[in-house]
Amino acid sequence: MKRAEAVAFGGSGLDRAAHLRGEKHVLDTLMRDSRAGVLPLWRGKPLLVADPRSGRDELGWLSGNSLALVGATSRVFLGLDGDAPRFAADVSAWQPDLLPDTLDAYRDPSEQRHPALPDTYRFSELRMAVPRLAPRAAELAATARAVLNWHRTHRFCAACGAESDISLGGWQRLCPACGTHHHPRTDPVVIMLVTRGNSVLIGRSPGWPEGMYSLLAGYVEPGETIEAAVRRETLEEAGIKIGHVAYLASQPWPFPASLMIGCHAEATSEAITVDPAELEDAIWVTREEMARIHAGAHPRIAAAREGAIARFLLGNWLADTLD
Ligand SMILES: [Zn+2]
């Protein structure tokens, strides 16, 4: 798919400068560089700052000695953005005055402002913010969120249980007791644009916003190809048999650590049998009906959320730009 990397969180060509990760003294020097910036994340929410000229959000880059970074943990070297060294750090230990009850919910519209920073800076949920971010900012924020979450949830060695140490600029954990190296995980998920003639298969999971339908998706299992996962998940969730499968586009989805693998799947059967454990409903919709859904003009069905690869794939299917 020629337009594949135009997806939200698509590749922006960030120079991750992996050769510098093992050079701790070089990273320490880069941290002190006047062009360096540290992106703090609080409970997975990156610091954003509004740019009144463009109406977009920028990432809230701080200097290493900012008061908002007091108590920060897990410094990660993200790479070089042009000549600007970029780091991320976890400031989840900070306690705002008010903890919103939407925190960690499917949609968290709450924003947290740190007293050491100007009012235009706030911690925002990345899923909702990504449509307002430039591709480079989205890639940096997604990388930071995924790696910092991994550190927060993988403190102890999976081989022997000892507490492990952060190493390689944040791209590895090393166990001092048994010497095992641990690397940040990324979980592959297939997401399927299932078509049959002029129709596409969409479904909704329990707990989704009212009326919202999207493409079917599921984790790739150990020992499985992408094609096999597409066929298995579609059959399990909706009872639909799949013939030809073709890769279209991928999307890093750091909620918490997925790589979405978008595929076109041609259905060879039509009768839907929903697995209620996975889906609340699944339906075939025609291209004309999907155009109305996509435009937000359908009376009952709401489109997949902006920024999600499902919406990107459906938009390209409607525009006939899948190749
Ligand atoms: Zn160990």
Report the separation in Å between the CA atom of 156 and the middle of ligand 1, taken as the mean of its atom positions: 8
Residue 282: which of 209, 201, 228, 221 has the closest Cα? 201
Q: CA 323 → CA 208, 259, 263, 310, distances in Å?
A: 30, 21, 12, 16
Report the separation in Å between the CA atom of 219 and the middle of ligand 1, taken as the mean of its atom positions: 28
Asked if 132 contacts 111 with a C-beta cutoff of 8 angstroms, the reply is no
Report the separation in Å between the CA atom of 69 and the middle of ligand 1, taken as the mean of its atom positions: 30
Report the separation in Å between the CA atom of 167 and the middle of ligand 1, taken as the mean of its atom positions: 14
Q: How far apart are CA 189 and CA 151, in angstroms?
A: 21
Report the separation in Å between the CA atom of 135 and the middle of ligand 1, taken as the mean of its atom positions: 38
Residue-wise pLDDT tens digits, 170-205: 999 999 999 999 999 999 999 999 999 999 999 999
Q: Is the bond into 256 cis (omega within 30 degrees of 0)?
A: yes
CB neighbour list of residue 145: distance below 8 Å, 6 or more residues apart = 41, 44, 46, 126, 254, 255, 256
Give the single-character DSSP code of 113: -
User: What pTM value is reported for the model?
Assistant: 0.94
Report the separation in Å between the CA atom of 74 and the middle of ligand 1, taken as the mean of its atom positions: 19
Q: How far apart are CA 129 and CA 215, in angstroms?
A: 22
Residue 33 CB: number of other CB atoms within 10 A?
13
Q: How far apart are CA 28 and CA 107, in angstroms?
A: 37
Report the separation in Å between the CA atom of 171 and the middle of ligand 1, taken as the mean of its atom positions: 17
Asked if 236 contacts 165 with a C-beta cutoff of 8 angstroms, the reply is no
Angle, vertex CA 107, rays to CA 103 and CA 112, nearest 5: 45
Report the separation in Å between the CA atom of 152 and the middle of ligand 1, taken as the mean of its atom positions: 17
Q: How far apart are CA 87 and CA 81, in angstroms?
A: 10
Residue 49 bridge partners (DSSP): 58, 121
Report the separation in Å between the CA atom of 162 and the middle of ligand 1, taken as the mean of its atom positions: 5
Report the separation in Å between the CA atom of 163 and the middle of ligand 1, taken as the mean of its atom positions: 8
Report the separation in Å between the CA atom of 21 and the middle of ligand 1, taken as the mean of its atom positions: 22
Report the separation in Å between the CA atom of 150 and the middle of ligand 1, taken as the mean of its atom positions: 17
Report the separation in Å between the CA atom of 151 and the middle of ligand 1, taken as the mean of its atom positions: 15
Q: CA 240 → CA 61, 232, 269, distances in Å?
A: 47, 9, 6
Report the separation in Å between the CA atom of 169 and the middle of ligand 1, taken as the mean of its atom positions: 19
Report the separation in Å between the CA atom of 172 and the middle of ligand 1, taken as the mean of its atom positions: 13
pLDDT at residue 102, as a whole number = 83
Report the separation in Å between the CA atom of 24 and the middle of ligand 1, taken as the mean of its atom positions: 22
Report the separation in Å between the CA atom of 73 and the middle of ligand 1, taken as the mean of its atom positions: 21
Residue 39 bridge partners (DSSP): 88
Q: How far apart are CA 119 and CA 112, in angstroms?
A: 10
pLDDT at residue 209, as a whole number = 86
Report the separation in Å between the CA atom of 180 and the middle of ligand 1, taken as the mean of its atom positions: 5
Q: Give pLDDT < 70 ranges for the chain.
A: none
Report the separation in Å between the CA atom of 155 and the middle of ligand 1, taken as the mean of its atom positions: 11
Report the separation in Å between the CA atom of 141 and the middle of ligand 1, taken as the mean of its atom positions: 30
Q: How far apart are CA 219 and CA 252, in angstroms?
A: 14
